[in-house]
Structure 1
Amino acid sequence: MTPLRLDCRPLPAGTETAPESGALTGVVISVAGELDATNADDLESSIGRMRHPGRPLVLDLGALTFMDSTGLHVLLRVHRQVRQDGGSFHLAAVRDLPARLLQITEVWDALDIHPSTDAAIAALSSAFGPTTRLERPSCG
């Protein structure tokens, strides 16, 4: 099994803002490796520490090679939590087996899924318009 690896970075300057508060910023979290019952809880905890309530979260799954139903449930729970906190949740670069799982379960149509991280960021930019960066988030 390939261990799960995470990388977190802030969204680029000027790509998004929370419209009601003017507060910036969201994060992009890149997930690599295999997501299954052995590490799904760790991923959910890590995302909880890295994300900013009320702000956009983009999960780049381009390097995720495998995901089982526990990983799917993590994505659905994180989606629900982010939306309840007033943020937006986007998946990017979903490929191969993870993409197939999302399609078979019909979750694909329920989430905001973009072909790349750049496309997800562009969607955020068009939704909120140009902004000025007010703060730099930490990713941990």
Structure 2
Amino acid sequence: MPQLTLAHQRLPGVSVIAVTGEMDATNRGQLESYLRRARTHPSEGLVFDLSRVPFMDSSGLHVLLMCATDCLRNGGAVHLAAVQPLPARLFEVTGVVAHLPVYDTVDAAVSAALNS
């Protein structure tokens, strides 16, 4: 099973989840468990730093969408940052880019999360 490395940084008003590794069906449970533990303030904005995610399949995408739905339900929003080419293509083909904002940098995503 490919291992994900996950790190969480809580800033005032927004949390940043840095993901390293491939996001797929083999580690979906690991990502879901981590998000349940890390999201202690569901109404805050959430930024996913995807700069070190070279590949994502529909399972990883599903986790992001479920997290975004939960954030919206609680008054927050999900922002994606530094998306690599293969995951970016998945977001484009599936139309996710119309629903989840994507930013070139983590700083830009954090700024947007704080102003939304």
Q: What TM-score comes out, normalization by structure 2 length? A: 0.91
SS in 2 for 1:65: coil
In the TM superposition, residue 2 of structure 1 has moved relative to its aligned partner by 4.7
Q: Kindly tell me the number of residue pairs found equivalent between the two proteins.
A: 115
Which residue identity lines up with residue 87 of structure 1 in the other structure? G
Which residue identity lines up with residue 27 of structure 2 in the other structure? N
Q: Deviations over 1:89-119 (max 9, x none)?
A: 1111111111111111111121121111011
Asked if 1:81 is matched to 2:63, the reply is no
Q: Write out aligned runs for 1:26-105 (5 A).
A: 26-51=14-39, 52-105=41-94
Asked if 1:3 is matched to 2:3, the reply is yes
Report runs of 4+ in structure 1 exceeding 4 Å deviation. Answer: none
List gaps (5 residues or longer) in structure 2. Answer: none
Structure-2 separation of matches of 1:91 and 1:47:
15
Structure-1 separation of matches of 2:104 and 2:2:
23
Which residue identity lines up with residue 32 of structure 1 in the other structure? T
Q: Residues 102 and 88 from structure 1, CA distance in 2 versus in 1: closer, same or farther, beyond 3 angstroms?
A: same
SS in 2 for 1:121: helix
SS in 2 for 1:94: coil
Percent sequence identity over aligned pairs: 46
Q: Which has more radius of gyration?
A: 1
Q: Residues 71 and 63 from structure 1, CA distance in 2 versus in 1: closer, same or farther, beyond 3 angstroms?
A: same
1:136 alignment counterpart: none
Structure-1 separation of matches of 2:77 and 2:25:
26
Q: What TM-score comes out, normalization by structure 1 length? A: 0.76
Structure-2 separation of matches of 1:46 and 1:109:
26
Q: CA RMSD in A?
A: 1.5
The 8 Å contact of residues 49 and 82 in structure 2, kept in 1 or not, is answered as yes
